[in-house]
A and B are shown apart, each in its own frame.
Chain A
Amino acid sequence: MTTETTITFTIDGQTIEGRAGQSIMDAADQAGIYIPRLCDVEGLHPQGSCRVCTVKANGRSTASCTQPIEEGLEVENETRELRNYRRDLVRMLFHEGNHLCPICEASGNCELQAMAYRLGITQASKFPYLQPVRPLDASHPDIALDTNRCIRCGRCIRASKDIDGKHVFGYVGRGIEKQVGVNGSKLSKTNVSIEDYAISPDVCPVGCIIRKGEGFKTPIGARKYDQSIIGTDKKQPGN
């Protein structure tokens, strides 16, 4: 049953109205308040896996993309504590994979890189680099998959399943070994197509899914985040 019941709550003390069933993130977006995120993107079901959108709801940490709003809920978003959590989460993503921004064709369009800039991550951190050894699957004539850059956001998995109806991508392995794999021995053995929504530039937030031959065609200065900070508020938060 669809409900149109209006729910009133606060984000950082600002009173917001949303509809029952909406997530905190959706309601915030509607109100023009940006909550940082990586695994969530418009048009795909929220997954709550990256935790970059973690807020405090009545004092409890929760993923704002999956947590429904409640009447009178007090949400904290832009606090020093939460920014520090987010910085550590983003830092750990850099340390878990092999993210070589200077030579990556996604640089300037990459949401992970842009989020790091937004959060003021400009130098190496306390975590060790895991430097995993991961293969590059370039077997498909139009598409390559470089899982060195994967952050396991699952956007390609959801896009392929829910929009393309194909199940090209899926998770393999467990724990720290968990990776995005393809439904076949290699990419060329799947039914993936360059026309799939999962392969569109909007889906992969990093440089993991590569549209062959398109790298570096956009000059520096004209890339998505060359001139502006990621987030609808277009501004860097404080420390």
Chain B
Amino acid sequence: MAKSRIVEIDPVTRVEGHGKVTIHLDEDNNVDEARLHIVEFRGFERFIQGRLLWEVPVIVQRLCGICPVSHHLAAAKAMDVIVGAKHLTPTAEKMRRLMHYGQIMQSHVLHFFHLCSPDLLFGFDAPVEKRNIFGVIAEYPELAKQAVMMRKYGQEVIQVTAGKKIHGTGAIPGGINKNLSIRERDALLKDIDQMAEWARGALQVAKNYSVDNLSLVQSFGSFPSNYLSLVREDGALDLYHGNLRAINSQGRAIFDQIDYQHYHELLVEDVRSWSYMKFPFIKKLGRLDGWYRVGPLARLNNAGFIDTPEAAIAHQELKAVTEGKPNPTSLANHWARMIELLHCVEKIRELLLDPDLQGEDLVVKGERQEEGVGVIEAPRGTLIHHYRVDKNDQVTFCNLIVSTTHNNEAMNRAVTKVAKQYLSFQTKITEAMLNHVEVVIRAYDPCLSCATHALGQMPLEVELYDADGALLDRNSQHIK
């Protein structure tokens, strides 16, 4: 009698951090279940305890080398609450917003071009020798150059607001530690038109992919779900600040305009033995039905409109595909991500022209609080930082729900769906088949470890085991 098998993708490549996928095949080679395992353990929530409150935004950003600004700002927003800074000065809030838009710009560009474009430009089953960033550089050199230059620009925005391109110190409890000099402003303004043009081009690439491959996009890892994000008080997309909104698969509100200080009354985190990543769900819907998605597509599903002109039109075009209903696909995340890229460039331009950025009033304080929550829309989705601080200014409690954690259940479902579609009843499992599983994971831009130390060789190992756990076959390759 044939035995069941487990196929592992370990590690998943072209994502931030380390994770692996196990695909369980029964004796008929039918995919029984697939899981995305997060195999790294970080422990930030524990070792931040005892540290001083103003250190927190600087320490916790070390979670990530790609989106440190998100952690830096979410922690700073929580500490704003703790130091009683109810309203930041215009200079402080706009400097932080500028930092954030620069961060999302560089992160979205990195993800779309460096990590995902090989799949989209060459096909999911293109030869692996070609299906990588070097293949993109060889065949689409202009696009590759634009990707590098746009990412550089985003990093420069971060540098002038945070002090460094990676792991800066700009945001402090109650405000910011610098304003934007005229020299810094003018250096960025010089290239903003070029950035807008390239962002439009990137959006066109992503949109064309979704339109030209409509049936693939609609079927590939597509399923109904709930969606969660911040929205502005008027329902607009707001990546820096707002209230919590969750909608169901039909677009109806589960909750709306909830102050995120009360997030813990709405969301619960479930733990499963096979992953270090938790599984959050909406409390009132329960464990089985309460899971949801976050990230670019969830944000654009949730937002009533976008307040920058070009991104607003692009948003309407995206919504038209599903006639205004939430878009249930995984791959349309790329389209949504590039709409957000254009939105960020428009916002950066708007802020650079705002004289408030040259203001001198940088920090405010008020009545001290013991507890604070900071929430921000990070590149990958809603990011929640929650702290308690004692009278000595020392952290006593920390809870972080990072964007990828929110998407945990959705990614597992997407992995299972794609694995069932492409791997079931196959006698020989190829690298190209397995790449389909990775493609759907990449659509969510997961940041599996936040700041992984994975440098140099990135091995992709596929191992086949029989039901007794004996290794049957191994196929590995290395991308340097």
Contacts and interface: CB of A to CB of B under 8 A. Distances in A.
B52 A144 contact: yes
B52 A219 contact: no
A136 B394 contact: yes
Given A139-B392, A212-B52, A216-B172, 10 more contacts: A103-B55, A103-B59, A136-B52, A138-B392, A138-B394, A213-B54, A215-B52, A216-B54, A219-B178, A220-B169
Interface string A192-225: 0000000000000000001011011111111000
Interface string B154-171: 000000001110011110
Nearest to A139: B392
Interface string B47-72: 00011101101110010000000000
Nearest to A186: B392
Contacts of A103: 55, 58-59, 62
Nearest to B54: A215
A102 interface: yes
Contacts of A144: 52, 392-393
Interface of A: 102-103, 105, 136, 138-139, 144, 210, 212-213, 215-222
28 contacts: A103-B62, A105-B58, A136-B50, A136-B51, A136-B52, A136-B394, A138-B393, A139-B392, A144-B392, A144-B393, A210-B52, A212-B52, A212-B393, A215-B52, A215-B54, A215-B172, A216-B54, A216-B58, A216-B172, A216-B177, A217-B172, A217-B363, A219-B169, A219-B170, A219-B177, A219-B178, A220-B164, A220-B168
A105 B56 CA distance: 11
A108 B172 CA distance: 17
Contacts of B178: 219, 222
A102 B59 CA distance: 8
Interface in B39-53: 50-52
A103 to B, nearest CB: 5
B62 A102 contact: yes
Contacts of B162: 220
Interface size class of B (residues with CB under 8 A): 20 to 34
A99 B162 CA distance: 22
B163 A221 contact: yes
B62 to A, nearest CB: 7
Contact of A138 (B52, B62, B172): B52
Interface centre among A136, A217, A221 (most CB of B within 10 A): A217
A102 B164 CA distance: 12
Contacts, number: 53
Query: Which 4 residue pairs of A and B lie closest in terms of their CB atoms, listed nearest first?
Result: A220-B163, A219-B178, A138-B392, A216-B169
A147 B167 CA distance: 24
Nearest to A213: B54
Contacts of A216: 54-55, 57-58, 169, 172, 177
Q: Which one of A102, A215, A221, A222 has the greatest number of beta carbons of chain B within 10 Å?
A: A215
A48 B454 CA distance: 44
A16 to B, nearest CB: 41
Contacts of B164: 220
A224 to B, nearest CB: 15
Contacts of B52: 136, 138, 144, 210, 212, 215
Nearest to B159: A220
A221 B162 CA distance: 10
A215 B178 CA distance: 14
Contacts of A139: 392
A219 B184 CA distance: 14
Interface string B381-423: 0000000000011100000000000000000000000000000
Contacts of A210: 52
B275 to A, nearest CB: 28
Contacts of B177: 216-219
Contacts of A105: 54-55, 58
